[in-house]
Amino acid sequence: MALGGRMWRRAIAATAAIATVAVLALGTSSLATTRASSAPAKTQAHYPVTSKRAFHDGMRRLWVDHVTWTRLFIVSFAADLPDLHATTDRLLQNQVDIGNAVKPFYGKAAGDQLTTLLTQHIQTAADLLAAAKAGDSTAFDQAKTKWYANARRIAGFLHDANPKNWPLADLRGMMKTHLDLTLQEASDQLGGSYAASVAVYDEVETEILGMADMLSKGIIKQFPGAFA
């Protein structure tokens, strides 16, 4: 069925937004099209000695930024706001920041791989939003399948880095919950159920804080010499 004028405008806007994400993402990592297929190398790299509390709080900040800027992207995309480009830029920078945070422990290549996987996570989320906004159920289902597969790769990558402290089942469960909640948040926002979207975001934030705590605790246990 042909799209009406309003739907065409939405489709054009969605395409432009995806192009923006793709262009910006290419600048975040030279590995943007690679797939993490091996565990990050364990290394007692030259990590700075810091306090457990500071590291714990820093990890929380990174992952709260992740869900906060994702929400702002959803809001800007849904309403075609003029800050979409700047918001996208900041969201993608967060994926670089998260990758950089693990480099002192697992090395540059591993940090870059994590950034790549997280950038793909953001790109595919943008594909989902575009398909939902355009009413393209086929593209939506394809993007959703790709998005959840990427989440499983992220979980596997993290587990391989620290199998003793990051059980695969726990990571997969956390990543799936993160995606489920974010998808509901976006659906409510696109559908105009703004109060519901805000309420789901509170759940998103609570869930990601639990994941951040698991990651920081795991690194502290794996590299005790890095912490005062």
| Residue range 36-66, pLDDT digits in tens | 344 444 444 556 668 999 999 999 999 999 9
Q: What is the pLDDT of residue 48?
A: 63
Establish if 146 belongs to a structural domain: yes
SS3 166: coil
Under-50 pLDDT residues of the chain: 1-44
Q: Which residues of 113-127 are buried (b: 16+ CB within 10 A; e: fewer)?
A: bbbbbbbbbbbbbbb
- Note down the domain range covering 173: 5-31+49-226
* pLDDT averaged over every residue in the chain: 85
Is 48 in contact with 104 (CB distance < 8 Å)? yes
- Answering whether pTM is above 0.85, one says no
In a domain, 195, yes or no: yes
Domain annotation covers residue 41: no
153 lies in some domain? yes
Continuous H helices in 27-107:
52-79, 84-106
- Is residue 43 a part of any domain in this protein? no
- Per-residue pLDDT, 25: 34
Tell me which amino acid residue 23 is: V
Q: Is residue 160 part of a domain?
A: yes
Are the C-beta atoms of 94 and 65 separated by less than 8 Å?
A: yes
Tell me how crowded residue 23 is: count the other CB atoms within 10 A of its CB.
11
Question: How many separate domains does the chain show?
Answer: 1
**Count, residues in the chain:** 228
pLDDT at position 228 is 81
pLDDT at 22: 36
Q: Is residue 36 part of a domain?
A: no
- Give me the helices (H) in the chain, please: 5-26, 52-79, 84-106, 108-134, 137-161, 168-190, 194-222
Q: Is 125 part of any domain?
A: yes
